[in-house]
Chains A and B, each alone.
Chain A
Amino acid sequence: MEIKLSGIILIVGNYGSGKTEVAINLAIGSRTSGKDVQIADLDLVNPYFRTREVKDLFSDLSINIVLPPDQYLNADLPILSPAVAGMLRNPQEVTLIDVGGDDAGAIVLASLADALTDKNYRMLQVVNPLRPFNDSVEGCLAMRSKIETASKMQVNGLIGNANLINETNIEMIYSGHDFLKDVSQASSLPLELITVPAHLMPEIDTARVSCPILPIKRQLVPPWEKPVPVAIKP
């Protein structure tokens, strides 16, 4: 099944659920399939492992990335670039907004309400059931409701991101998928896609999965590891 996401996509979810890695890989996937893509780092919560770390890769891929000005990149200040609102007023084929974690990270969305008026957008909640506070259906529903209250917007889809980074295995992916189906049923939110580390893709039985799959080429790595290479077409 093909991932059919386009337009404005807001990526939200629990702190540490993997929003940034998902947003980065959605951007890479959409760009590789020929779409014009732009992405904004709206994470005002997290100090490390952020979209900004793929600045150079995205420039090579001609993905437009909106970040705070260079001199404030490590300022530990909540900086909302006015360019984000501009981006939402003039969306490209795919416009991704990587929002900060929890309701605290989603508050900033309320300030973009004007720019989003009359726009169609999808707000997708990323869930990694192998994270604390993500491991029960109730926990996921509680976070959905907190994010909706803080952002004054509605979540309208789910992304399953079951992983233990380098220790992810196929079993975790299947049971994560099944868990997300339960969340989907309890919340009436569609399961848009699940993620699978790219190197595990050959082992996946696609008939076992009821939604599209986003292969993850991990880009946010500690200094002793290398990001998974991404092919750059001229």
Chain B
Amino acid sequence: MGKVLMKGNEAIGEAAIRAGCLNYFAYPITPQSEVAEYLTHRLPEEGGVFLQGESEVAVSYMIFGAAAAGARVFTTSSSPGISLMSEGISYIASAQCPAVFVNIMRGGPGLGGILPSQADYLQATKGIGHGDFRMLVMAPASVQEAVEMTMAAFPLAEKYRNPVMILGDGLIGQMMEPVDFPEHLKTPPSNKNAWATNGMDTRQSEARNLVKSLYLDPEQLNQHNLMLKAKYEQMEAEEVKAEAYNVDKDYKILIVSYGTMSRVCKTAIMQLKQEGLEIGLIRPQTLFPFPGEMVLQAATKDSCQAVVSIEMSMGQLVEDVERYVKGQRPVSWFGKCGGEVPTPEEIIDHIKAML
């Protein structure tokens, strides 16, 4: 199959099908409703199921139930809908069920607006719901990357038995780009027999699987949480991904930026290069685990005088950047968060003002 022109939302739906996920529960919200629209046509062709929940809270428990039974399952929503799902996500993380959540972010807080934003960075990366847990969070910068990350999300969710989130801004969902669906991304079969309540037919052992998040004994709960912590540490050791751009040059400023925002930064970097000014960029592809070591290394290069976090949020990514740069270079924030995307010109002006 050659390339096709797809909206990010459609491509995410198709990618999930190609990853062997035929179970989709969701509630429509702009700017991600096209996922549901697309899967309404496509899932029946594949023998799959799309059920619209009566709310996002209900959807999160449909996901929990399906995941506990061993089904590959996912949902998509946008900021306010994800907040409603956060309770269910916390249960799913504690019960160690694999599931994929896609957040196509819009401007907030509250009802906010429907235009692109990255306002949910801290919510996604610092444990989205109550309790003490983490999701693995990936942030695509193109429709093609949204496809690849969605396809990778399912085996990662099963490897860690943990929720995985694809965090895209509204542009990722709404823009159209040419994509292909590479064969090499075919997803391996699920490891569900080891943990799912899917009946004894296919099991090798007599042991019963139990899915639960209730631990009344404090010592048991402490042990459970230590075990979860070890999984997050393993993610930090094994799953970090980031793109380094123009870092072989002697840049004076390092930009840290993710998602479509990083593409505006690249346009600015190209234009500044023509003026003889080199700027480096680290683009986190995983937001949790955060590519802190890469940021630190790039920030402490001899030529680098300062680091700026450029975001469609009011200073969220910058907290992680500061955490790793540890005062070795000045770290500042630049961004907008109301649906307007900073333009290449605004970034260029800001960079020049920093020098």
A167 to B2, CA, bound (A): 12
Q: In B196-216, which residues have CB < 8 Å from any A CB?
A: none
Q: Which residues of B contact A133 (CB under 8 A)?
A: 41
The verdict on B343 contacting chain A, using a C-beta distance below 8 Å, is: yes
Please state if B3 and A224 are interface contacts (CB–CB under 8 Å): no
B7 smallest CB distance to A (angstroms)? 6
Q: Which residues of B contact A49 (CB under 8 A)?
A: 174-176
A163 to B177, CA, bound (A): 10
Please state if B178 and A224 are interface contacts (CB–CB under 8 Å): no
In the complex, residue of chain A having the shortest beta-carbon distance to the beta carbon of B341: A223
| Segment at the interface with B among A89-97, A124-132, A181-189, A200-208 | A124-132
A102 smallest CB distance to B (angstroms)? 9
A163 smallest CB distance to B (angstroms)? 7
| Segment at the interface with A among B235-243, B262-270, B279-287, B326-334 | B262-270
A130-150: contact bitstring with B at CB < 8 Å (1 yes, 0 no)?
111101000000000000000
A38 smallest CB distance to B (angstroms)? 27
Q: Which residues of A contact B7 (CB under 8 A)?
A: 16
Contacts known (A47-B31, A165-B176, A224-B266); A128 close to B5, Cβ less than 8 A = yes
A141-180: contact bitstring with B at CB < 8 Å (1 yes, 0 no)?
0000000000000000000000111110000000000000
Q: Which residues of A contact B113 (CB under 8 A)?
A: 74
The verdict on B94 contacting chain A, using a C-beta distance below 8 Å, is: no
The verdict on B226 contacting chain A, using a C-beta distance below 8 Å, is: no
Contacts known (A132-B4, A133-B41, A163-B5); A16 close to B171, Cβ less than 8 A = no
Tell me the count of chain B residues lying within 8 A, CB to CB, of chain A.
Answer: 34
Tell me the number of A-to-B contacts counted with CB atoms below 8 Å. Answer: 74
Q: Which of A16, A74, A222, A225 contacts B5 (CB 8 A)?
A: A16
Please state if A223 and B264 are interface contacts (CB–CB under 8 Å): yes
A25 to B3, CA, bound (A): 25
Please state if A47 and B114 are interface contacts (CB–CB under 8 Å): yes
A223 to B339, CA, bound (A): 12
The verdict on B260 contacting chain A, using a C-beta distance below 8 Å, is: yes
Q: Which residues of B contact A130 (CB under 8 A)?
A: 3-5, 178
Q: Which residues of A contact B114 (CB under 8 A)?
A: 47, 74, 76
A164 to B5, CA, bound (A): 6
A73 smallest CB distance to B (angstroms)? 10
Q: Which residues of B contact A48 (CB under 8 A)?
A: 31, 115-116, 170-171, 174-175
Q: In B172-207, which residues have CB < 8 Å from any A CB?
A: 174-178
The verdict on B30 contacting chain A, using a C-beta distance below 8 Å, is: yes
The verdict on B20 contacting chain A, using a C-beta distance below 8 Å, is: no
B1-42: contact bitstring with A at CB < 8 Å (1 yes, 0 no)?
001111100100010000000000000001100100110010
Q: Which of A76, A132, A166 contacts B6 (CB 8 A)?
A: A132
Please state if B177 and A165 are interface contacts (CB–CB under 8 Å): yes
Tell which of B7, B116, B264, B344 has the most Cβ of chain A within 10 Å.
Answer: B7
A133 to B174, CA, bound (A): 18
Q: Which residues of B contact A131 (CB under 8 A)?
A: 4-6
A66-82: contact bitstring with B at CB < 8 Å (1 yes, 0 no)?
00000000101000000
A-B contact pairs, 23 of them (CB 8 A): A15-B37, A47-B31, A47-B174, A48-B175, A49-B176, A74-B114, A74-B339, A130-B4, A130-B178, A131-B6, A132-B10, A132-B14, A163-B5, A164-B4, A164-B178, A165-B5, A165-B177, A167-B3, A222-B263, A223-B171, A223-B264, A224-B267, A224-B344
Known: A16-B7, A164-B5. 11 other contacts (CB 8 A): A47-B31, A47-B170, A48-B116, A74-B113, A74-B114, A131-B5, A131-B6, A132-B10, A132-B14, A223-B260, A224-B267
Question: Which residues of B are at the interface with A, using a C-beta cutoff of 8 A?
Answer: 3-7, 10, 14, 30-31, 34, 37-38, 41, 113-116, 170-171, 174-178, 260, 263-264, 266-267, 339, 341-344
